[in-house]
Amino acid sequence: MTTDPGEVPMREPLAYFLTWTTYGTWLPGDERGWVAKPGQFRAPDEKLQVQAQRLLTETALTLDPEQRCLVETTIADHCRVRGWRLHIVNSRTQHVHVVVTAPGRDPKVVMNQFKVWCTRRLKNLERSRRPWNGAIRQNWWTQRGSTRWLNDESSLEEAIRYVREEQGEPTPHPPDKNIQA
């Protein structure tokens, strides 16, 4: 809990709702709109999107079912190792949603740990798919993401419902790899 003089202390959130996109799939200027900084939603801008595309060093990434399953398993494993409570995780083809309780941790740090661990395992998967020494992708995720604090049961339940029910079909998992919330 951090306080500044004259401020009311903020209590620890119940959980964080974290979202990040895969590399190159939601660029500044995107036709769906985009976020410049937290809370600053911007309208589509085709010229800006073209400029952003020119800066990409690799193709945009769309996760296949095996990669999506690996991301979800990795996040669940990381939560077990850290002693964090994973409420739900949903890896889509171009973004990931996680609702997690990680006491005493900054949500940006939590999200970055997930990205680092997922990147390691995704690179290992790529190596196993390419037994020859082909180039392995270096950029898997956008630099930032969304980190929302969930401060009450209602917002926690709504985030879990959104991730579970409003993201399309669940990630296909082999029978022994089901991710339980």
141 vs 167, more confident = 141
Distances (CA, A) of 55 to 8, 28, 59, 173: 43, 11, 11, 35
What pLDDT, in 10s, does the model give residues 36-82? 665 666 666 677 667 767 776 898 899 999 999 999 999 999 999 99
DSSP sequence for 99-155 = EEE-TT--HHHHHHHHHHHHHHHHHHHHHHH--S-PPPP---B-S--EEEEE-SHHH
- Rg, Å, the chain Cα set: 18
Over 90: is that where the pLDDT of 177 sits? no
Q: Whole-model pTM?
A: 0.82
Check residue 57 and give its pLDDT.
81
Q: Are 38 and 32 within 8 A, CB to CB? A: no
In this structure, of 79-83, 91-95, 142-146, the range with the lowest mean pLDDT score is: 142-146
What residue type is assigned to position 110 of the chain?
Answer: V
Q: How far apart are CA 30 and CA 24, in angstroms?
A: 11
Mean pLDDT of the chain: 84
How many residues are recorded in the chain?
A: 181
Set out the domains of the chain in order of their start, with CATH numbers. 15-23+61-172 (3.30.70.1290)
57 vs 154, more confident = 154
Band (pLDDT 50/70/90 cuts) for residue 5 is low
The token pair that represents 141 in the structure block? 């995720």
Nearest to 145 by CA among 2, 25, 26, 18: 18
7 vs 159, more confident = 159
